[in-house]
Amino acid sequence: MKTLKKILIVLGIIIAIPLVLALFIKKEYAVEEEITINKPKKEVFDYIKHLKNQNEYSKWATMDPNMEKSFRGTDGTVGFISAWKSEQEDVGSGEQEITAIEEGERIDFELRFFEPFESSDKAYMITESVAPDKTVVKWGFDGKMDYPMKLMLPFMDFEGMIGDDFLTGLQNLKEELEN
C-alpha cells in the first residue's frame, strides 16, 4: 500500500509540474513577414484590400481545388466575409472578416476557424511606400492559446508553420502584381 501511495504521489507531481509551468508561459504569439513589390502603394493596397483577390496569391486558398468558397457583403469594405469549407483536414472550414481598414495603409481581419478545431485569431496586411514605385507589404497574424493549451507554445514553431505560408503568399502576390 505504501508503494502504491508513493507511485500516485510521483505521478501527481509529474502531472502537476507542466500544469503549474503553463501558468507562467506567455499565451500570445505573433508572426509577420514582408516583401517589397515594385508597384505604387495605392495600386498594391487597392488590390490586397479585396479578400477575393487572396484566391490569386494566398497559399491557403489553393490547398484544396475542391474547397467550397462563399462571400457575404461588399468586398474591400469592413464587414465583408470570405468563408471556406474543405473535406481536407489540413484546410478545414472557417471564415475571414474584414474588421478595419485604414485606407491606403492597413487592413485588419478576424480569422475564425471552425474545423478541424475552433479558434479565432487576428491578421493584418500593411502597406508602406519606400519609393514612388516600391511598396513594402507586411502580412501578420496574432493569436493566443489559453491555459492549459499554451503549454504547447514553446514547442510550436509558428514562424516556420505560418511564416513560410505568408512568404509563399507574398511571393505570389509580388508575381501577380508585377506581371
Domains and CATH numbers, the chain: 26-178 (3.30.530.20)
In a 13 Å sphere around the CA of 84, the CA atoms on its Cβ side amount to 26
Check residue 138 and give its pLDDT: 97
- State yes or no: pLDDT of 146 exceeds 70: no
Segment 96-108 shows an average pLDDT of: 96
How far is the C-alpha of 151 from the C-alpha of 89, rounded, in Å? 23
Tens of pLDDT, residues 50-79: 999 999 998 888 878 888 999 999 999 999
Mean local confidence (pLDDT), 10-38: 75
pTM of the model: 0.76
The set of residues, in sequence order, having a beta carbon less than 8 Å from that of 97 and lying 6+ positions away, is 79, 80, 81, 82, 109, 110, 112
